[in-house]
Amino acid sequence: MIEHLATGAGLAFFLFGLFVFFSAVLGLFRFDYVLNRMHAAAVGDSLGIFCVLIGLMLLHGWSLSAAKTLLIFVFLWLTSPVASHLVAEMEVATVPDIHKECEVEER
Amino acid sequence: MSKKIDETSGWLQRFAAWVDGDREPPDRTLLVMERRPHRDFRPTEEEFERREKDRLRKFFNWYPIAATVICVVMAAILLTTVMNMPGFGDEDNPINNEVSERYLEHGAEETGSENVVTAMIIGYRGFDTLGESCVLFLAVAAVMILLLRDEKNTTGRELHQLEREEAGAREHADLILQQVAKVLTPFIFLFAIYVLLNGETSPGGGFSGGTILGAGVILFSAAFGVQRTQRFMNRRTYSVVRTFGLMLYAVLYGIYIFIGANGLPNHLAGMILLIDLAVGLVVACTMYGFYALFSRGEI
């Protein structure tokens, strides 16, 4: 029973992750401003990868590979937001009239 | 073209002018067909724009159709090729010949490496890999020739601007990047060393490990700036490490070939490991060298 439950949950996670990735790629190609595109890519890299990897771990059960998957996922969660942050910061620093594009918090 | 051709100019000049298509006065024309007046059709601005728009619209009408047709044709060609290929893992595939059989059966004992891929790359086909390492080495040398800064190709203004940029980067250091780099860099280096040293027995080896090592150095350099990177990686160290890697490889493989290649495997049990290390050093230096040279022109 519990195995079926885990498989079902894993499948659900996996499919949701695929959907998130699909929408992320769609956004990456359809949006035209860099911050919007960065947002789309970051969604794929954080939520999408989370759902796909959790789904894989649930589908395959606990093993050494699952532990490595967890490590990969920690690594991606550490690095992907930083990359997005750097892209956004570069955009804010180089575009002179950033206030026209979006709200900027004064620091 | 603007040269005036008249009666007094020599025949050579006139011939050259004729070849160039310069205009001559019609009564002096020699061997030239009768000229029609040039049709100087110069459309107005709006006309031009309208025609351009028209052309674009036509193009965008046809573009999806053409793209679809091309994609479908390409996919059909590739799929037909795949269907006609021998099945995956078939016994009588052309790849199952005596060469791969030899590699698989005797690779471990002849080269001392459990990992067949490493045995092939560094044992059997070591010269090929040596050539690749040389290509990387030469690539960095070529980029250095083009981009390296010294007093002869840098003006004071450029230096001043560079210094200002660096000072700005130091003042507004990115806290988020620095914190993450502080956490991650040791693990990246650890993983790189693991991959480098485990190439003998598991997937990995010089190229992948060296790439990870170079990426770690690049991350450190991007997060903490040039000064702190130059504490352990200045130009002198860089050159020494790079040259040492290639020399180590060349010398080891030379010895290996000289004492009979696959006849004496046990004399050089650690050879694969050392060569992996040498390749890793060269690759890491190439990665970091490209980054440093392209971003600020010095190492």
Residue B289 belongs to a domain = yes
**Residue B159 covered by a domain:** yes
B90 vs B92: CA distance, rounded Å:
6
Domain membership of residue A55 as a residue range:
2-93
Domain count, chain A: 1
Whole-angstrom Cα distance, residue B253 to residue B200?
16
CB proximity A78 to B under 8 Å? yes
Q: Give me the mean pLDDT over the A74-95 stretch.
A: 87
pLDDT of B281 reads: 93
Determine the pLDDT at residue B138: 95
Whether B222 is in a domain gets the answer yes
Identify the sign of the CA torsion B225, B229, B235, B239: negative
DSSP label at A103? -
Interface test with A, best of B176, B190, B212, B219 (most A CBs within 10 A): B176
Contact B176 A79 (CB under 8 A): no
Evaluate whether residue A99 is within a structural domain: no
Contact: B183, A86; criterion CB under 8 Å:
no
A56-84 pLDDT, tens digit per residue, is 998 888 888 899 999 998 999 999 999 99
- Contacts A–B by Cβ distance under 8 A: 15
Q: Does A68 touch chain B (CB under 8 A)?
A: no
**pLDDT at A52 > cutoff 80:** yes
Judged by CB atoms closer than 8 Å, whether chains meet at B184 and A89 is answered as no
Three-state DSSP class for B1? coil
Quote the number of domains for chain B: 1
Residue B110 lies in a domain: no
Measured between CB atoms, does A82 come within 8 Å of chain B? Answer: yes
Burial degree of B217 (CB within 10 A; 0-12, 13-18, 19+): buried
CB atoms within 10 A of CB A74: 10
Q: What is the pLDDT of residues A7-48, one digit of tens each?
A: 999 999 999 999 999 999 999 888 888 888 888 989 888 899
Is a pLDDT exceeding 90 seen at residue A99? no
Nearest-CA distance A82 → chain B (Å): 6
For residue B270, give both structure tokens.
Answer: 């650690």
Which domain range does residue B172 map to? 115-296
Would you say residue A11 lies in a domain? yes
Interchain CB distance below 8 Å, B177 and A82:
yes
Residue B3 lies in a domain: no
In-domain check, residue B157 = yes
What pLDDT sits at residue B190? 94
Report if residue A17 sits inside a domain.
yes
Contact (CB, 8 A) for B220 and B229? yes
Residue B242, in any domain of the structure: yes
Q: Is residue A28 part of a domain?
A: yes
In the numeric block, the tokens 């991350």 are attached to B219
Q: Return the closest-CA partner of residue B138 out of B282, B271, B296.
A: B282
Q: Is residue B151 part of a domain?
A: yes
Q: Enumerate the residues of chain A whose CB falls inside 8 A of the CB of residue B180.
A: 78-79, 82
Distance of CA A71 to the CA centre of its chain: 16
Residue A101 placed within a domain: no
Q: Does the residue A86 lie in any domain? A: yes
Please name the helix (run of DSSP H) or strand (run of DSSP E) that holds residue A44, with its range, or none.
none
pLDDT for the residue numbered B2 = 45
A64 vs B contacts (CB less than 8 Å): none
A78 CB neighbours in chain B (<8 A) are 180, 183-184
d(CA B187, CA B31): 82
Assigned domain for A73 exists: yes
* Whole-model pTM over 0.90: no
Asked if residue A98 is part of any domain, the answer here is no
Q: Residue-wise pLDDT tens for chain B (299 aa)? A: 445 556 666 788 777 777 776 655 555 555 555 556 666 666 678 888 888 898 889 888 899 999 999 999 999 999 999 888 887 777 777 777 888 888 888 877 777 777 888 888 887 888 899 999 999 999 999 999 988 888 777 888 888 888 888 887 777 778 888 999 999 999 999 999 999 988 878 888 889 999 999 999 999 998 888 888 888 888 899 999 999 999 999 998 888 777 766 555 555 567 788 888 999 999 999 999 999 999 888 87
Q: Rounded to 10 degrees, what is the CA torsion of B195, B201, B205, B209?
A: 0
